[in-house]
Amino acid sequence: MLLKKVIMGQKSKERGSRSGGYSHQGQEGEQLAVRHLKRLGYRIICRNYRSPLGEIDIIARHRGVLVFVEVKSRSTETFGSPKLAVTPAKQRKLSQVAWHYLQQHNLTEASARFDVVTISRMQGSPHLEVIENAFDSTY
């Protein structure tokens, strides 16, 4: 697997009031991320892939590489920048879920990477950033 190590800060995904569900902001953020990724040439394969180990927001293909995408959205800096939201623990969890996906789809030899899409809404309209190869797999 071709993956680059970047350690990112902290804060877990904001959850809505329904059990295990995302907040309205989280759902809207993922929609924005999907549209943005498509404009950049990503082909979306799956959204909200769930395994017994957890969930990955988006799975896509980009330039021949399988990409596991985590979306982080913030409307204030109270909990820090969205760039700081993928903690080492979250990276481990995403790595485990990605490995589960690769095993289930007989893709364990595929080139893959982890990208993070950050969405900041501090000044009205959202600002999106795609961080390619955001971190190394830990599986």
How many domains does the structure of the chain reveal?
1
The confidence score (pLDDT) of residue 63 equals 96
The confidence score (pLDDT) of residue 120 equals 84
6 domain residue, yes or no: no
Mark the ranges of the chain whose per-residue pLDDT is less than 50.
1-21
The confidence score (pLDDT) of residue 83 equals 66
Residue 20 belongs to what H/E stretch?
none
The confidence score (pLDDT) of residue 78 equals 59
The confidence score (pLDDT) of residue 79 equals 60
54 domain residue, yes or no: yes
Who contacts 126 (Cβ-Cβ below 8 Å, separation ≥6)?
A: 29, 32, 73, 119, 120
105 domain residue, yes or no: yes
4 domain residue, yes or no: no
- Domain at 81, CATH number: 3.40.1350.10
- Domain residue limits at 101: 41-131
Who contacts 119 (Cβ-Cβ below 8 Å, separation ≥6)?
A: 29, 32, 33, 71, 72, 73, 74, 82, 126, 127, 128
The confidence score (pLDDT) of residue 14 equals 33
Rounded CA-CA distance 12/74 in Å is 11
30 domain residue, yes or no: no
29 domain residue, yes or no: no
77 domain residue, yes or no: yes
The confidence score (pLDDT) of residue 60 equals 98
Predicted TM-score (pTM) of this structure? 0.79
Which tens digit of pLDDT belongs to each residue from 84-121? 678 899 999 999 999 999 999 999 999 999 999 998 87
The confidence score (pLDDT) of residue 29 equals 87
69 domain residue, yes or no: yes
The confidence score (pLDDT) of residue 2 equals 34
